[in-house]
Amino acid sequence: MLFKISLSNIRKSIKDYAIYFFTLVLGVAVFYIFNAIETQTAFLRVSDDQRELIHILTTAISGVSVFIAVVLGLLIVYASRFLMKRRNKEFALYMMLGMSKRKISALLLCETVIIGIGSLFVGLMIGIGLSQVMSAVVANMFEADMNDYKFTVSGSAITKTILYFGIMYAVVMLRSGFVISKCRLITLMNSGKRSEKITMKNPWLCVIVFLISAAVLIWAYHTVGWDFEHINEKRIGLAILAGIVSTFFIFWSVSGMLLRVVMSAKGVYHRGLNSFTFRQISSKINTTIASMTVICLMLFVTICTLSTAFTIRNSLNKGVEDNFPVDFYGRFSLHTHDGTDDSSYRTGNIDDVYAQQNMSIYDDFDEYCHFHDYNESNFTFDTFAGDRKAELTGGSMSIYAMMNFDISFLKLSDYNAIMELYGQKQIELGDGEYAVSANAAGLPAMYDKLLEDSTEITVFGNTLKPSSEKCIISSFYPDIQASNTGTIIVPDNAVSEKYRGVDYFVGNYKATDKNGREAAEKTARDNWNNVMHRYQSGAGNGFMHGLETRIEAASNAIGIGALVTFLGLYIGFIFLVSCGAILALKELSESADSMPRYTMLRKLGVEEREISRSIFRQSGIFFLLPLLLACLHSYAGMRFAKIGLDLLVTDNYTKPVIFTAIILIAIYGGYFLLTFLGSKAIVKEQK
Amino acid sequence: MSLLRIQNIEKYYGNRSNLTKAVDDISFSVEKGEFTAIMGASGSGKTTLLNCISTIDRVTAGHIFLEDQDITQLKGRELNKFRRDKLGFIFQDFNLMDTLTAYENIALALSIQKRPAKDIDKAVKNVAEQLGITDVLGKYPYEMSGGQKQRVASARAIVTEPKLVLADEPTGALDSKSSKMLLERFNYLNREHNATIIMVTHDSFTASYASRVLFIKDGKLFNEIIRGNDSRRQFFDKIINVVTLLGGDVSDAL
CA distance A338 to A542: 13
At A342 the pLDDT is 52
Task: Please name the residues between 184 and 213 in chain A that touch chain B, using a CB distance below 8 Å.
Answer: 195-198
A409: helix, coil or strand?
Answer: strand
Boundaries of domain holding B9? 4-253
Determine the residue of chain A that is closest to B112 in CA distance: A272
Question: Which of B109, B114, B140 is nearest residue A198 as measured by Cβ atoms?
Answer: B140
How many degrees, rounded to 5, is the angle at CA A610 between CA B169 and CA A262?
A: 95
Nearest chain B Cα distance for residue A189, angstroms: 20
Mean pLDDT in residue range B124-132: 86
**Are B112 and A197 within 8 A, CB to CB?**
no
Determine the residue of chain B that is closest to A602 in CA distance: B80
A543: helix, coil or strand?
Answer: strand
CA distance A330 to A476: 12
- Cα B30 to Cα A204, B19, B235, distances in angstroms: 54, 29, 19
- Cα A27 to Cα A37, A108, B25, distances in angstroms: 16, 22, 60
At A258 the pLDDT is 80
CB B97 within 8 A of CB A198: no
Q: Which residues contact A63 (CB under 8 A, 6 or more apart)?
A: none
B215: helix, coil or strand?
Answer: strand
A508 in the same domain as A406:
yes
A360 in the same domain as A272:
no
A509 in the same domain as A407:
yes
Nearest chain B Cα distance for residue A194, angstroms: 11
The 10 Å Cβ neighbour count of residue B58 is 12
**In a mutagenesis test of the B interface, which of A600, A604, A607, A686 is the best target, namely the one with the most B β-carbons within 10 Å?**
A604
A674 in the same domain as A565:
yes
Q: Give the distance from CA A434 to its chain's centroid.
A: 42
Nearest chain B Cα distance for residue A284, angstroms: 11
CB B110 within 8 A of CB B119: yes
**Are A198 and B99 within 8 A, CB to CB?**
yes
**How many structural domains compose chain A?**
3
A403 in the same domain as A270:
no
B19-30/B4-14 β-pairing = antiparallel
A366 in the same domain as A304:
no
β-sheet bridge partners, residue A601? none
Determine the residue of chain B that is closest to A280 in CA distance: B99
CA distance A84 to A87: 5
* Residue at A118 is within a domain: yes
pLDDT confidence tier of residue A293, bands split at 50, 70 and 90: very high
A231 in the same domain as A93:
no
CA distance A447 to A438: 8
Amino acid identity for residue A453 in this structure: D
Amino acid identity for residue A206 in this structure: C
**Are B117 and A272 within 8 A, CB to CB?**
no
CA distance B65 to B73: 10
Amino acid identity for residue B183 in this structure: L
- Cα B125 to Cα A260, A583, A655, B122, B143, distances in angstroms: 21, 39, 57, 5, 19
At B253 the pLDDT is 44
Q: Which residues contact B206 (CB under 8 A, 6 or more apart)?
A: B37, B170, B171, B179, B183, B199
List of chain B residues whose C-beta atoms are within 8 Å of the C-beta of residue A604 = 83-84, 89, 108-109, 112
CA distance B25 to B11: 8
Q: Nearest 10 degrees: CA dihedral of A405, A406, A407, A411?
A: -150
CB-based contact, B139 to chain A, within 8 Å: no
B35: helix, coil or strand?
Answer: strand
- Cα A379 to Cα A385, A459, A686, distances in angstroms: 10, 8, 85
Q: Where are the beta strands (DSSP E) in B91-211?
A: 164-168, 197-201
**Are A196 and B142 within 8 A, CB to CB?**
yes
Q: A608-644 vs A654-683: helix axis angle to the nearest 10?
A: 150
User: φ and ψ at A573, to 5 degrees?
Assistant: -65, -50
**Are A604 and B83 within 8 A, CB to CB?**
yes
**Are A279 and B100 within 8 A, CB to CB?**
yes
Mean pLDDT in residue range A108-114: 83
Tens digits of residue pLDDT in B86-122: 888 888 888 888 888 899 889 888 888 888 888 888 8
Q: What is the ipTM of this complex?
A: 0.81
pLDDT confidence tier of residue B251, bands split at 50, 70 and 90: very low
CB-based contact, A610 to chain B, within 8 Å: yes
Q: Nearest 10 degrees: CA dihedral of A173, A174, A180, A182?
A: -170
Amino acid identity for residue A13 in this structure: S
- Is residue A645 pLDDT above 80, yes or no? no
Q: A289-323 vs A550-593: helix axis angle to the nearest 10?
A: 160
Tens digits of residue pLDDT in B146-169: 888 888 988 888 888 888 889 988
- Label residues A177-202 b or e (16+ Cβ within 10 Å = b): bebbeebeeeebbebeeeeeebeebe
- Is residue A653 pLDDT above 80, yes or no? no
Nearest chain A Cα distance for residue B251, angstroms: 31
CB-based contact, B125 to chain A, within 8 Å: no
Determine the residue of chain A that is closest to B143 in CA distance: A197
Nearest chain A Cα distance for residue B146, angstroms: 14
Question: Which of A197, A596, A607 is nearest residue B77 as measured by Cβ atoms?
Answer: A607
Strands, sheet with B69-70, edge to edge from the N-terminal-most edge strand: B19-30, B4-14, B61-66, B69-70
Amino acid identity for residue A242 in this structure: A
Strands, sheet with B35-40, edge to edge from the N-terminal-most edge strand: B87-90, B164-168, B197-201, B35-40, B212-217, B220-226
**In a mutagenesis test of the B interface, which of A197, A259, A275 is the best target, namely the one with the most B β-carbons within 10 Å?**
A275
B197-201/B164-168 β-pairing = parallel
List of chain B residues whose C-beta atoms are within 8 Å of the C-beta of residue A605 = 80-85, 87, 112
Mean pLDDT in residue range A260-283: 81
CA distance A338 to B141: 94
The 10 Å Cβ neighbour count of residue B228 is 9
- Is residue B21 pLDDT above 60, yes or no? yes
* Residue at A547 is within a domain: no
CB B218 within 8 A of CB B246: no
- Give the least confident one: A382-391, B22-31, B94-103: A382-391
The 10 Å Cβ neighbour count of residue A230 is 7
CB-based contact, B240 to chain A, within 8 Å: no
Task: Please name the residues between 43 and 62 in chain B that touch chain A, using a CB distance below 8 Å.
Answer: 54, 56
Q: Which residues contact A485 (CB under 8 A, 6 or more apart)?
A: A381, A400, A405, A407, A438, A440, A443
CB A266 within 8 A of CB A278: no
Q: Which residues contact B33 (CB under 8 A, 6 or more apart)?
A: B190, B194, B195, B196
A301 in the same domain as A321:
yes
Amino acid identity for residue B93 in this structure: D
A318 in the same domain as A350:
no
* Residue at A446 is within a domain: yes
| A&B contacts, CB < 8 Å | 83
Question: Which of B98, B104, B108 is nearest residue A196 as measured by Cβ atoms?
Answer: B98
- Nearest-Å Rg of the Cα atoms of chain B is 18
Question: Which of B81, B97, B117 is nearest residue A270 as measured by Cβ atoms?
Answer: B117
Query: In CATH, what number is assigned to the domain containing residue B10?
Result: 3.40.50.300
pLDDT confidence tier of residue A638, bands split at 50, 70 and 90: confident
A70 in the same domain as A219:
no
- Nearest-Å Rg of the Cα atoms of chain A is 33
**Are B99 and A283 within 8 A, CB to CB?**
yes
- Cα A176 to Cα A154, A167, B206, distances in angstroms: 33, 14, 50
Q: What is the mean pLDDT of chain A?
A: 81
- Give the least confident one: A265-279, A530-544, B30-44: A530-544
CB A164 within 8 A of CB A65: yes
Boundaries of domain holding A576? 204-330+554-687
Domain boundary among A192, A216, A247: A192
At A125 the pLDDT is 92
Task: Please name the residues between 223 and 282 in chain A that touch chain B, using a CB distance below 8 Å.
Answer: 266-267, 269-276, 279-280
Percent of chain A's residues with pLDDT above 70: 90
B230: helix, coil or strand?
Answer: coil
Q: Give the distance from CA A409 to its chain's centroid.
A: 39
A241 in the same domain as A152:
no
A462-466/A457-459 β-pairing = antiparallel
CA distance A2 to A23: 26
The 10 Å Cβ neighbour count of residue B222 is 16
At B254 the pLDDT is 43
pLDDT confidence tier of residue A541, bands split at 50, 70 and 90: low
- Is residue B145 pLDDT above 80, yes or no? yes
Question: Which of A267, A274, A280 is nearest residue B99 as measured by Cβ atoms?
Answer: A280
CB-based contact, B80 to chain A, within 8 Å: yes
CA distance A216 to B213: 69
Domain boundary among A509, A540, A571: A540
Structure letter (DSSP) for residue A380: B
Domain boundary among A491, A509, A540: A540
**Are A605 and B110 within 8 A, CB to CB?**
no
A472-473/A433-438 β-pairing = parallel
**How many structural domains compose chain B?**
1
CB-based contact, B104 to chain A, within 8 Å: yes
List of chain B residues whose C-beta atoms are within 8 Å of the C-beta of residue A601 = 112
Q: B146-158 vs B117-131: helix axis angle to the nearest 10?
A: 130
CA distance A395 to A227: 10
Q: What is the mean pLDDT of chain B?
A: 85
CA distance A463 to A349: 29
